[in-house]
Homo-oligomer: A and B are copies of this chain.
Amino acid sequence: MAETLIQIGVVGCADIARKVSRAITLAPNAALCAVASRSHDKAAAFAAANGFPLSAKVYGSYESLLEDPDVDAVYMPLPTSLHLHWAVLAAQNKKHLLLEKPVALDVAQFDRILEACESSGVQFMDNTMWVHNPRTAAMAHFLNDAQRFGNLKSVRTCFTFAADPDYLNTNIRVKSDLDALGSLGDAGWYCIRAILLAANYELPKTVVASYEPVLNKDGVILDCGASLYWEDGKVATFHCSFLANLTMDITAIGTRGTLHVHDFVIPYHEKEASFLAGTETGFNDLVTGWDKQPSKHTVTTDLPQEALLIREFARLVAEIKFKNSKPDKKWPTITRKTQLVLDAVKASIQRGFEPVQIQE
């Protein structure tokens, strides 16, 4: 059995790698086999603190891990500006690649990563966890139901959190040489992904950034938003910020139904998550109340969403490793669309909030 487990190495000991290491341990088809940091001591301490098996290898450089033939796949939580170099090198070393989001500084960089993965025949997946929660599948099922939801008319999302002064001074997500996309790349990534989910992954035609984004002294976005427009009249807006209380909403409105969710990125609870769905909601005759209101749908899961992501990633890797399948294209295609929209928002901000057309 152990031989069929996909052996995953962790490249970088960022905070988020703690959660993902636990997820790899929880996933039934994957195992932690190695960890690398630029410092051997830091890697060893990380392995000890995060449930790595005694057999796991500890590396003091990323290269060494990437050259380890026992490593099937890597999880890479490095700062965005380092992705191009290390993700391409991982792919060239035939390592299947689970890459932290935002996947690249722009889609041109991401395409080079994807090309490297395709050349080597390795699986690419980004580490957007919430889409692997079974609640997300239930929401997507509702959103694509012509009877219960109809056609999407508008979707509004937000993801904000109040970073403390230390974060705003020192975190990699506010550094122009590390995660130069700031809150757009971090929180905005999720908002854009939620909008694409609601639009059944149809790209918008036009993106216009909201006025008054907040940038730090190095030009990194701390707070921004945008409106997205489709040919058929669908409209989406989102707002992402490091400067406001923790909030993460999706409100999607169709011709026949409405969906509300308040914890879409990280569900309140690990083992169950809910959303509100209403179909042909309406008032009573005198309009003094609703005779049909949205109802709560709760979806349970044995594994947390990040372990479900690992399970899906390892499943695809196993298909390639053991059954000579081709890498799956669904997930990288969605990743690329997310990055395309993100690029358009950034371009609109840079061009003084001009509308930016999206071209695939």
Q: Hey, which bits of chain A sit against chain B, CB under 8 A?
A: 16, 18-19, 22, 150, 153-154, 156, 158, 160, 162, 206, 208, 210-212, 214, 223, 225, 227, 229, 233, 235, 237, 239, 241, 243-247, 249, 251, 253-258, 260, 262-263, 266-270, 276, 278-283, 286-290, 293-294, 304, 306, 355
Contacts and interface: CB of A to CB of B under 8 A. Distances in A.
Given A156-B156, A229-B212, A251-B158, A258 B245 contact: yes
Contacts of A288: 19, 266, 270, 304, 306
Given A211-B355, A270-B288, A258 B229 contact: no
Given A153-B241, A156-B156, A262-B276, 5 more contacts: A154-B158, A210-B237, A214-B233, A227-B227, A246-B278
Given A162-B256, A247-B253, A258-B247, A263 B293 contact: yes
Contacts of A280: 162, 245-246
A259 to B, nearest CB: 9
A262 B294 contact: yes
A19 B304 contact: no
Nearest to A233: B212
Nearest to A283: B266
A311 B254 CA distance: 37
A154 B239 CA distance: 8
A210 B156 CA distance: 13
B255 A251 contact: no
A253 B243 CA distance: 10
Contacts of A211: 206, 208, 227, 229, 235, 355
Q: How many of these chains are in the complex?
A: 2
Contact of A269 (B255, B268, B279, B289): B289
Contacts of A269: 289
A304 B288 CA distance: 8
Nearest to A273: B289
Contacts of A214: 233
Nearest to A150: B245
B156 A160 contact: no
Given A154-B160, A268-B293, A288-B266, A245 B241 contact: no
A162 to B, nearest CB: 6
A38 to B, nearest CB: 24
B235 A225 contact: yes
A301 to B, nearest CB: 12
A22 B255 contact: no
30 contacts: A22-B286, A150-B245, A153-B160, A154-B244, A156-B156, A156-B237, A158-B251, A160-B253, A162-B255, A162-B256, A210-B227, A210-B237, A211-B235, A223-B233, A245-B253, A245-B257, A245-B279, A245-B280, A245-B281, A247-B278, A249-B251, A263-B290, A263-B293, A266-B289, A266-B290, A268-B289, A269-B289, A270-B288, A288-B304, A288-B306
Contact of A282 (B158, B246, B276): B246
Contacts of A270: 288-289
Nearest to A276: B262
Contacts of A304: 288
A287 B260 contact: no
